[in-house]
Structure 1
Amino acid sequence: MYRTLFFIIGLIILTFGVSLTIKADLGAGAWDALNVGLSTEIGLTIGSWVIIVGLFLMLMNAYLLRTKPEYLALLTIMIVGALIDFWMLVILKNFHLETLLLQIIVLVVGMVTVGLGAAIYLQPKYPLIPIDQFMLALKYRLKVNLMIAKTVAEIIALILALLVKGPIGIGTLIITFCMGPCIQVFYPYFEKWLNKLIKEA
Structure 2
Amino acid sequence: MYRFLFYVIGLLILSFGVVLTIKADLGAGAWDALNVGLAKTVGFTVGTWVMIVGIVLIILNAVLLKKFPEIFALLTIVLIGTFVDFWLELVFKHWAPSGLFFRFGILIFGLIVISIGVALYLQTQFPLNPIDQFMMVLHQKLNVSIQAAKTLAELLALILAFFFNGPIGIGTVIITFLIGPLIQFFYPKCQTIFRRLQYR
Using the size of structure 2 for normalisation, the TM-score is 0.94
Is the aligned partner of 1:20 residue 2:4? no
Structure 1 residue 177 displacement after superposition? 1.4
Partner of 2:53: 53
Letter in 2 for 1:164: F
The CA deviation string for residues 14-73 of structure 1, in whole angstroms up to 9 with x for no partner, is 100000000001011100000000000000000000000000100111011110000110
The unaligned stretches of length 5 or more in structure 2 are none
Q: Which amino acid aligns with 1:169?
A: G
Equivalent in the alignment of 1:161: 161
176-185 or 58-67, which deviates more:
176-185
State the 1:148 CA deviation: 4.7
Rounded Cα–Cα distance in structure 2 between residues aligned with 1:151 and 1:189: 21
> How far did 1:188 drift?
2.2
- Taking only the aligned residue pairs, the percentage that are identical comes to 52
Which residue is 1:91 aligned to? 91
- Partners of 1:158 and 1:22 lie apart in 2 by 15
Give ranges in structure 1 of 5+ residues lacking alignment. none
Indicate the RMSD between aligned Cα atoms, in angstroms.
1.4
C-alpha displacement of 1:90: 0.4
Q: Quote the Cα distance in structure 2 between the aligned partners of 1:186 and 1:154.
A: 18
Match of 2:100 in 1: 100
**Aligned pair in 2 of structure 1 residues 190, 150: CA closer, same or farther (>3 Å)?**
closer
Matches within 5 A, 1:69-80: 69-80=69-80
For the structure 1 residues 190 and 153, does the alpha-carbon distance in structure 2 shift closer, same or farther, using more than 3 Å as the test?
closer
- Number of residues of Structure 1 aligned to a counterpart in Structure 2: 199
Q: Secondary structure of the residue that 2:28 maps to in structure 1?
A: coil
Cα distance in 1, alignment partners of residues 56 and 138 from structure 2:
15
How far did residue 151 of structure 1 move? Answer: 3.5
Greater alpha carbon shift after TM alignment, 42-51 vs 156-165: 156-165
Indicate if the aligned counterparts of 2:115 and 2:186 stay in contact, CA closer than 8 A. yes
Aligned partner of 1:196 in structure 2 is 196
